[in-house]
């Protein structure tokens, strides 16, 4: 598959996935979704890639889904769209490498849902967030009703989901939806700076940390603690654990191998 709706590139162990439908404010369609899945698979299989950044353009990260093809759909259409979307988004959420959403302009509907699948969200000053599906007579179909309340709490999520309102960057920061607000012309540089910090973290520990957190969210505290216990124990079988602790004892910088 050729990339036509995204621009995919790698540099210095960082993969960039840039949504590229500028005439549609990067709105999601089946082709873009398929290309996103392909890019995620490439990142999964490339050991040189340690961090993934998703972004759009100045006007839009992604302004939801292409409504035209959905307007005359029936129940099976709706189910198919939700099913295919969730499969790709789950793959992104479960990616064992850290992910960053660098957001400028609109992040609405499916665009916000993709950002919610990432580990970190950075917002430019012009960023606008929302899940306005209810104003179209539907609800989010890519995880928005589930991920947003878990991230920002029931109160703010209820307001966004039931009223279909949009919020600006300052409000997004105050409810914990984004990590930081940066100037538009500094957004990608700030995302790259964060990516380079994450790339220094030992890969085995990073995978274990992300897996434990994600798996723990889907279970009770007791089960989550057991997941953490197992992940913690398994890391003692890695070279990075030996190197990290030896470097600490010897008061030197560690040289992690990702093994």
* Residues 83, 118 within the same domain: yes
Per-residue model confidence as pLDDT tens digits over 103-133: 999 999 999 999 999 999 999 999 999 999 9
* Residues 185, 234 within the same domain: no
Determine the Cα–Cα distance for residues 121 and 143; give it in Å rounded to an integer. Answer: 17
Confidence of residue 73 (pLDDT cuts 50, 70, 90): confident
- Supply the mean pLDDT for the chain: 93
* Residues 43, 163 within the same domain: yes
Residue 68: the pLDDT is 79
Q: Does some domain include residue 138?
A: yes
Q: Would you say residue 86 has pLDDT above 80?
A: yes
Q: Does some domain include residue 110?
A: yes
CA distances from 180 to 41, 227, 244, 254 (A): 28, 30, 29, 29
- Number of domain units in the chain: 2
Per-residue model confidence as pLDDT tens digits over 158-190: 999 999 999 999 999 999 999 999 999 999 999
* Residues 105, 75 within the same domain: yes
* Residues 76, 149 within the same domain: yes
* Residues 229, 195 within the same domain: no
Query: Quick one: tokens of 84?
Result: 């295919």
* Residues 25, 131 within the same domain: yes
Q: Determine which one of 35, 44, 90, 113 is catalytic.
A: 113
Q: Determine which one of 35, 42, 90, 133 is catalytic.
A: 133
Determine the Cα–Cα distance for residues 98 and 216; give it in Å rounded to an integer. Answer: 17
* Residues 65, 182 within the same domain: yes
Residue 58: the pLDDT is 96
Q: Does some domain include residue 259?
A: no
* Residues 18, 48 within the same domain: yes
> The domain spanning residue 67 has which CATH number?
3.90.226.10
Determine the Cα–Cα distance for residues 95 and 120; give it in Å rounded to an integer. Answer: 13
* Residues 146, 225 within the same domain: no
* Residues 135, 23 within the same domain: yes
133 part of the active site: yes
Residue 2: the pLDDT is 78
Contact 108, 166 (CB under 8 A): yes
Q: Would you say residue 198 has pLDDT above 90?
A: yes
* Residues 113, 170 within the same domain: yes
Residue 1: the pLDDT is 56
193 part of the active site: no
Give the end-to-end CA distance of the chain in Å, rounded to a whole number.
32
Range of the domain at 72: 6-199
Q: Does some domain include residue 256?
A: no
- The dihedral over CA atoms of 117, 120, 135, 32, expressed in degrees to the nearest 10, equals -60
Report the percentage of the chain scoring pLDDT > 90: 80
Q: Does some domain include residue 136?
A: yes
Per-residue model confidence as pLDDT tens digits over 12-37: 899 999 999 999 999 999 999 999 99
> The domain spanning residue 211 has which CATH number?
1.10.12
């Amino acid at each position: 598959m050729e990339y036509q709706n995204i621009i995919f590139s790698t540099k210095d162990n960082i993969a960039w996935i840039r949504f590229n439908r500028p005439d549609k404010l990067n709105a999601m369609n089946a082709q873009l979704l398929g290309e996103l899945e392909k890019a995620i698979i490439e990142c999964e299989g490339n050991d040189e890639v340690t961090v993934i950044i998703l972004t759009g353009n100045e006007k839009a990260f992604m302004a939801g889904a292409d409504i035209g093809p959905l307007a005359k759909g029936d129940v099976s259409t709706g189910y198919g769209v939700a099913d295919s979307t969730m499969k790709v988004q789950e793959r992104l959420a479960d990616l064992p490498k850290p992910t960053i959403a660098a957001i400028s302009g609109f992040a609405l509907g499916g665009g916000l849902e993709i950002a919610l699948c990432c580990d970190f969200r950075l917002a430019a000053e012009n960023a606008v967030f929302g899940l306005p599906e209810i104003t179209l007579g539907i609800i989010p179909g890519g995880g928005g009703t589930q991920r947003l309340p878990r991230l920002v709490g029931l109160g703010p999520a209820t307001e966004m989901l039931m009223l279909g309102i949009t919020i600006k960057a300052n409000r997004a920061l105050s409810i914990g939806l984004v990590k930081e607000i940066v100037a538009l012309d500094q957004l990608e540089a700030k995302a790259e700076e964060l990516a380079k910090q994450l790339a220094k973290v030992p890969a085995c520990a990073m995978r274990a940390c992300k897996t434990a957190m994600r798996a723990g969210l889907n279970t009770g505290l007791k089960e989550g603690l057991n997941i953490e216990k197992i992940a913690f124990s398994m890391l003692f079988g890695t070279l990075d654990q030996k190197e990290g602790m030896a470097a600490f004892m010897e008061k030197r910088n560690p040289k992690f191998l990702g093994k």
